[in-house]
Chain A
Amino acid sequence: MPTLRALLEGVTLAFDAMRGAKLRSALTVLGVVIGVSTVMVMASLVEGIKSQIFATVENASPQTFYVVRFFSSVPLNPDRLPAEVRIRKVLDERDVEAIRRADVIRHAGLWVQIPLRMEFRGERSQNLMVYGADNMLLEAQGGTLLRGRFFSTAELAAGTPVVVIETEVADRLFGRLDPMGEVIRIGGKSFTIIGIYQKPANIFQPPGAEDGGIVPARAAKENFRYDETNSLFITVLAERGISVAEAKDAAITALRVSRGIRPGDPNSFDVITQDQILDTIDSLTSAFFLVMIALSSVALLVGGIGVMAIMTVSVTDRTREIGVRKALGATRREILWQFLVEAGTLTGFGGLLGIGFGLAAGALLKTVLGLQSGPPLWSAVVAASASVGIGVVFGIIPATRAARMDPVEALRYE
């Protein structure tokens, strides 16, 4: 059977049938258009947000990596740590010193991140991420100092209660007042504002609270309670021109020597590079995004059920035509094929329209939300094939009914 020719004839026939029943066809097509555009808009959002996250992580210095007590993609309950975590020593200044001595390391600092409330004259925030760090924080994690200054050597050494706060938080707490030089309460302790910074652009916050501010590491350790597994980490910056992999190896060696780990024994700490962070984010978000896309596919399913209903009506409507075709020699397969191609053409046409709408809506979202990428090409390909597929799958039942009709009955049908 010359299939391509039969296909083309089927498509022509399908367009004829569509012209013959305009309203009915338009309704079928509409269901598919809505379904396809929904899936495409979802895909745009998903891709846009994902690339946003990745861009953010990559914005942070590519020279940075972290040493933690135990790497876990979700925070551990500090009161019920698993044995494999408990046997590991808590990170301390000796570890930092050991890493700092390695010659490919530019900087190492024992930092903390603690969720705390910030308060100014009765205005109180939610829990915000407060970093106990040093002047290298912005270089390690991205972001810019907008006003004021970072910490002096003396403030770092003494743990002076001073803070560089995040600009959005400053706006929220101070409104039109100038925050510079004001004293705010962080976790109930007083800190003087010496600077304002802006965190790196990111519409989708990676796991954890929003940024609140940065205080000297020593001030954080002396003023706040924090848990030593989730909050404490060593930030390491590789020497310029040195690859992260090389610096990471050097840091691991230095730590093993300093902690007296024998060759062959496992590390009693974990090292995370940005690649691992990206992988973790990817695996965390992928599942979530898959669910989003699966949910939006329900719209496509609804379109498919519409196709089934309308094809069923169409088959009944054209009983006589089916009878004539059978009398003239159409086999069951040829009738089945005719109606499947018709259903596929109908929904494929809807799919094309839906892709048009989806692309437009995706482009609009890109502008409105400031996403970095528009609707991905794969979503158009998937949407197009899915819409044809839906027509064929949901067309099977009505088409089979048409194919099985008895020619005598069909010819007698009024």
Chain B
Amino acid sequence: MTDQAIIRLAGITREYLMGGERIRALAGIDLEIGRNEYVAIMGPSGSGKSTMMNVLGCLDTPSSGQYWLNGHEVSRMADDDLARIRNREIGFVFQTFNLLPRASALSNVELPLVYAGTGARERRSRAEEALARVGLAERMHHRPNELSGGQRQRVAIARALVNRPSILLADEPTGNLDSATSVEIMRVFGELHAEGQTVVLVTHEPDIAEHAHRVVVLRDGRIDTDRRVEHPVGAASAVA
């Protein structure tokens, strides 16, 4: 394992039993993702994309193979240890935002810090900082239903960032947004990557994937192609 690899998958498989039938969602994945990479994982439905995202996010454990995340071997961890890893190492951004509807933007962003055991004052200042980072300093006390879709996804990104995770894991982050807002959200990801954040994007939309610097395509539970993107969309504006 190289120092630079923040994610290392070796021979990862994941099988399910469905109606007595054994289904191989992942059929042996070997993959390394380095620090500050910006990777898109693509594939048609049924390719194992979602399972891949769940395994990468430590929401699910592989049937076999090994998974190192930032130096921890997480493939053999028990539930509560995985919860700790998710809390410290992973920032999730979901397609449906998954904000708590009755909590303000600020409370939503504070949530990972609550589970990290951070004190109330520090929690608040870090949540405010994260919201300011995504351009929502003015809307901290609004509830999700008082925010637009793009703003909700910004809150979700702030929540993902607030505990300074080693990877930002986004699952179809623009799936519920119009194209203008999508561009806006993808710009945020580009900026975060430019600042040194490792970003893993799971998507089935090729033009979204083109924002990444590397695209991994899955097919039938295996890596089909793994290529560099020559001119990522929005890379120039991110540097500027």
A residues contacting B by CB (< 8 A) are 1-2, 5, 9, 16-17, 19-20, 320-321, 323-334, 407-408, 411
Q: Are A411 and B112 in contact (CB under 8 A)?
A: no
A2 CB contacts on chain B under 8 angstroms: 117
Q: Please report the C-alpha to C-alpha distance between residue A407 and residue B92 in the assembled complex, in whole angstroms.
A: 13
Q: Are A328 and B59 in contact (CB under 8 A)?
A: no
Within 8 A of A (CB), among B76-90: 79-80, 83-84, 86-88
Within 8 A of A (CB), among B60-95: 60, 79-80, 83-84, 86-88, 92, 94
Instruction: State how many angstroms separate the Cβ of B207 from the closest Cβ of chain A.
Output: 26
Instruction: State how many angstroms separate the Cβ of B41 from the closest Cβ of chain A.
Output: 17
B159 CB contacts on chain A under 8 angstroms: 328
Of the listed stretches B5-13, B98-106, B134-142, B180-188, chain A binds B98-106
B residues contacting A by CB (< 8 A) are 54, 57, 59-60, 79-80, 83-84, 86-88, 92, 94, 98-103, 111-112, 114-117, 120, 159, 163
Q: Are B86 and A327 in contact (CB under 8 A)?
A: yes
Q: Please report the C-alpha to C-alpha distance between residue A151 and residue B112 in the assembled complex, in whole angstroms.
A: 90
Instruction: Please provide the 8 A-B residue pairs with the shortest distance between their CB atoms, ordered closest to farther.
Output: A329-B87, A329-B115, A331-B80, A331-B83, A324-B98, A407-B59, A328-B112, A329-B86
B120 CB contacts on chain A under 8 angstroms: 5
In the complex, given contacts A16-B102, A328-B92, what are 14 additional A-B residue pairs having Cβ atoms less than 8 angstroms apart? Answer: A20-B101, A323-B98, A327-B92, A328-B86, A328-B87, A328-B159, A329-B86, A329-B88, A329-B112, A329-B116, A330-B115, A332-B80, A332-B83, A407-B60
- Compute the total of residue contacts between A and B using a CB distance below 8 Å: 62
Q: Please report the C-alpha to C-alpha distance between residue A215 and residue B88 in the assembled complex, in whole angstroms.
A: 92
Closest-by-CB residue of B relative to A334 is B115
Closest-by-CB residue of A relative to B60 is A408
Q: Among A5, A320, A331, which residue has the most Cβ atoms of chain B within 10 A?
A: A331
Instruction: State how many angstroms separate the Cβ of B114 from the closest Cβ of chain A.
Output: 7
Q: Are B54 and A408 in contact (CB under 8 A)?
A: yes
A16 CB contacts on chain B under 8 angstroms: 102-103
A320 CB contacts on chain B under 8 angstroms: 98
Q: Please report the C-alpha to C-alpha distance between residue A36 and residue B157 in the assembled complex, in whole angstroms.
A: 47
Closest-by-CB residue of A relative to B112 is A328
Q: Which of B94, B114, B117 contacts A411 (CB 8 A)?
A: B94
Q: Please report the C-alpha to C-alpha distance between residue A123 and residue B115 in the assembled complex, in whole angstroms.
A: 82
Q: Please report the C-alpha to C-alpha distance between residue A329 and residue B118 in the assembled complex, in whole angstroms.
A: 13
Instruction: State how many angstroms separate the Cβ of B139 from the closest Cβ of chain A.
Output: 20
Q: Please report the C-alpha to C-alpha distance between residue A333 and residue B79 in the assembled complex, in whole angstroms.
A: 11
A408 CB contacts on chain B under 8 angstroms: 54, 59-60
Q: Are A333 and B80 in contact (CB under 8 A)?
A: yes
